[in-house]
Amino acid sequence: AYEDRFLSPFVAAERGYIDEVIMPHSTRRRIARALRMLRNKDMQNPWKKHDNIPL
């Protein structure tokens, strides 16, 4: 049936459309881990070669 073939996240992960299926009971832990990892991230934007001049 359609539900079995297309409405399952496991089928999408199996086909490579998504990286991972996160179960509802581990969502909070995974988000907290990702935010801790990003807390000390140093953003270094490249310098601008050209300015936008007003026209």
Domain ranges of the chain: 2-38
pLDDT tens profile 1-30: 788 788 889 988 999 999 999 999 999 999
User: How far is it, in rounded angstroms, from Cα 46 to Cα 44?
Assistant: 6
In the predicted structure, residue 33 carries a pLDDT above the cut 90: yes
User: How far is it, in rounded angstroms, from Cα 10 to Cα 2?
Assistant: 14
Amino acid of residue 45? N
What is the arithmetic mean of pLDDT over 34-45? 89
